[in-house]
A = this chain, B = another copy of it.
Amino acid sequence: MSTFTVGLLSPGDMGHVVGQVAIASGARVITCLNGRSERTRKLAEIAGIEDVPTYSDLVREASLVICILVPAASESVAARVADALKETNEQIVYTDCNAIAPATTVRIGKIIENAGSVFVDAGIIGGPPRQPGGTRFYCSGPDTSVFEKLNDYGLDARKVGDEIGQASGLKMCYAAQTKGTTALQTELLIAARRMGLYEGLIAEWEMSQQDRLAGMERGLPGMPTKAKRWIGEMEEIAKTFGDLGLTPKIYEGAADMYRLVSETPLADEAPETRDRSRTLAQVIDIFAEQSKSK
């Protein structure tokens, strides 16, 4: 059996763990670090991911390319891969795994299909797949078979439909629930703090909403390190729902909230070195201070 070679763009927080898992199960994983940060370079090295000089080398050697990036970069990376495909006359299966609106995914799919390759839509639910069963790679499209081979390499790939846009749509709905709820809670906690009602609200919740309060105390203090990335994700959700004729406002407002949080010093901390002793009340105090300057 020939080696299954996966091209991975790019080996960031999520991507390098995906690569590491596939390598541990016998896949070869390559990337192109041209223009990437020193941090990404180190993560690739830790994971055992090979660096190739150009995108043309990448599409020559890989049969599957998976793109895991911030939403804003999805389209330009697909265009660069399409150029490499045309230049080399290669055919691959290209999968976009980013948190983007279905309409954006459809557009990216066309870029790849026009270059003569197969496009697969995918959405990742869960954190980096360090524990088996912790992360699902939902996929959709007319032909997802090559992407589903990842199931033989330690990952959990699940087909969710035959249409490009459905896997992205599922990811949007899931993130709408988790990150949308967090944005909504952040806003009302800031409002309570600003009105001198923070302690009163927490006392009421301790009686009537214990589970939700516990969830906020657990999840909210770690959110600021991700806030910058989530602005774009909320905007993609607003677009997704707006395209269906539903109100885009809830998620435009969620983007506003992550924008506010991203302006605080907490947003510049690294996930691995942030102060883990900081309480819910302490982060809300910092957000409330920031909001006063509006």
Taking Cβ atoms with an 8 Å cutoff, the residues of A that contact B are: 102, 125-126, 136, 138, 160-161, 163, 165-166, 169-170, 172-174, 176-178, 180-181, 183-185, 187-192, 194-197, 200-201, 204-205, 207-209, 211-212, 240-241, 244-254, 256-257, 260, 291-292, 294
Contact = CB atoms under 8 A, between A and B. Distances in A.
Given A170-B197, A170-B204, A185-B177, A253 B249 contact: yes
Given A176-B187, A181-B181, A161 B196 contact: yes
20 contacts: A125-B204, A166-B196, A169-B191, A170-B201, A173-B197, A174-B204, A176-B184, A177-B188, A177-B212, A180-B188, A183-B250, A187-B246, A187-B247, A190-B246, A191-B241, A195-B244, A247-B253, A248-B253, A249-B256, A251-B253
A84 to B, nearest CB: 32
A200 B245 contact: no
Given A192-B169, A253-B253, A245 B184 contact: no
A165 B195 contact: yes
A95 B190 CA distance: 27
A169 B204 CA distance: 13
Given A125-B208, A160-B200, A172-B188, 19 more contacts: A102-B195, A136-B204, A160-B197, A161-B196, A166-B200, A169-B191, A169-B192, A169-B197, A170-B195, A170-B200, A176-B187, A177-B185, A181-B181, A187-B241, A190-B246, A245-B294, A246-B294, A247-B260, A250-B254
Contacts of A209: 177-178
A191 B212 contact: no
Contacts of A185: 177
